[in-house]
Amino acid sequence: MNMIKNGVKILIFLVCLSQFCAGPASAAINTIQRGNTVFIGEEGLDISAAMGPDTKIGWWASAAEISTTSPTKTIDLTGRITSFMVSPSEFDGYLGNWYRVNSAGKADGVAFLVADPQLVIKVEDTTVDVDPALQWIPSGDDIRFRIDTNLAQIASQRSLSPPITIKVQSPDGAIYSSVRNAAGIPTSIENLPVNTVPFYTGSIWNMGNPDIYPPGTYTIWAESNVNKMNDNYDVTGKTISKQITLLNQGVNPLITKATTVPTQTTRTTTLATSLTTTQTVVSTTVPTPHPTEPPTTAATVVPAPSQTKAPGFEATLAIAAILFGLVVNLKKD
């Protein structure tokens, strides 16, 4: 019985000790020193150390002469110094240095800087050491997350790093609070202490096990709700990053299997209707062939060659005849 009582006492002591240790740390992230940066959307800030004896703050336009002119905008923080909210309605559009304003309305040194939060997340394939093209990761490759945010300066100015949560939504809509590496070891992705720019996780995610990570498209984003920032200023790219998608499949989505489809090629010949063709036609008479007749034995009549008489031939004959007649008569005598 005494052992049980002692155990209960020890448990109570440990709980009290943990609360005591957690108290200053949780309070520190909302404690603002002079010259620190505060972000639009933060609330519950204790700015006592930043304000000193003053209760008003002022903002001057960039070209204004601070020492001789009145503030462009003045805010009275009476009653809000230990629970101050960087309200979007008051500070959006008025970024940079805010000065303490004394009772005479003059600048009394910088109180704090107001900044617009920025938050971006990326995934990187550490198996091939690249930023995934087309938001595609081959199943089985190791993955790490990269966070780029100006909230990291909280870690150097306050005593606690700003917690940022990575959201991973599966194809069926489930949201993971942790992811598993190739060995199946889970790593939490909630409230990561981001203290560098950029901030990298290890290679904590591997989707090679289809029973845990089925093929499909995963949606990823990051959120920061430090000092209820996201509750008050839920703006994409500010307190919540732009969502990115990541396709988990074994085949590059740009590679498609070729399919052979029989095709018929039709060639069309177009004749110009306005084409005029000039042709020269030569008429040729071809004799109709007759049947071949057998050769005959009849004599072939060859016509006599024609003769041509020389001029004066008849007169020569007449003279010759006369001379012949004279010779005959002489012989008779």
pLDDT digits (tens, 9 = 90+) for 26-68: 448 999 999 999 999 999 999 999 999 999 999 999 888 998 8
Token pair, residue 301, equals 């009549």
CA 113 – CA 36 distance, rounded (Å):
6
DSSP conformational letter for 294: P
pLDDT tens figures, 177-224: 999 999 999 999 999 999 999 999 999 999 999 999 999 999 999 999
Task: State which residues of the chain have pLDDT below 70.
Answer: 1-27, 129-134, 250-333
Residue 134's region, left for phi above 0, alpha for psi from -120 to 50, else beta, is: left
CA–CA separation, 184 and 203 (whole Å): 12
Number of H helices and E strands in the chain, helices first, is 6, 17
Contact call for residues 72 and 59 (beta carbons, < 8 A): yes
Query: CB within 8 A of 34, min separation 6: which ones?
Result: 49, 50, 52, 109, 110, 111, 112
Contact status, residue 110 vs residue 36, Cβ threshold 8 Å? no
Q: What is the pLDDT of residue 249?
A: 81
pLDDT at 308: 43
**Three-state DSSP class for 115?**
strand
Cα 203 to Cα 214: distance, rounded to the nearest angstrom: 19
Cα diameter, the chain: 216
pLDDT value at position 62?
A: 87
Q: What is the pLDDT of residue 182?
A: 95
Distance (Å, rounded) from C-alpha 128 to C-alpha 292? 96
Domains of the chain: 28-115 (no CATH), 119-249 (2.60.40.2950)
The two three-digit tokens of residue 79, written as one number: 């009653």
Looking up tokens 């949560």, which residue turns up?
Answer: 165
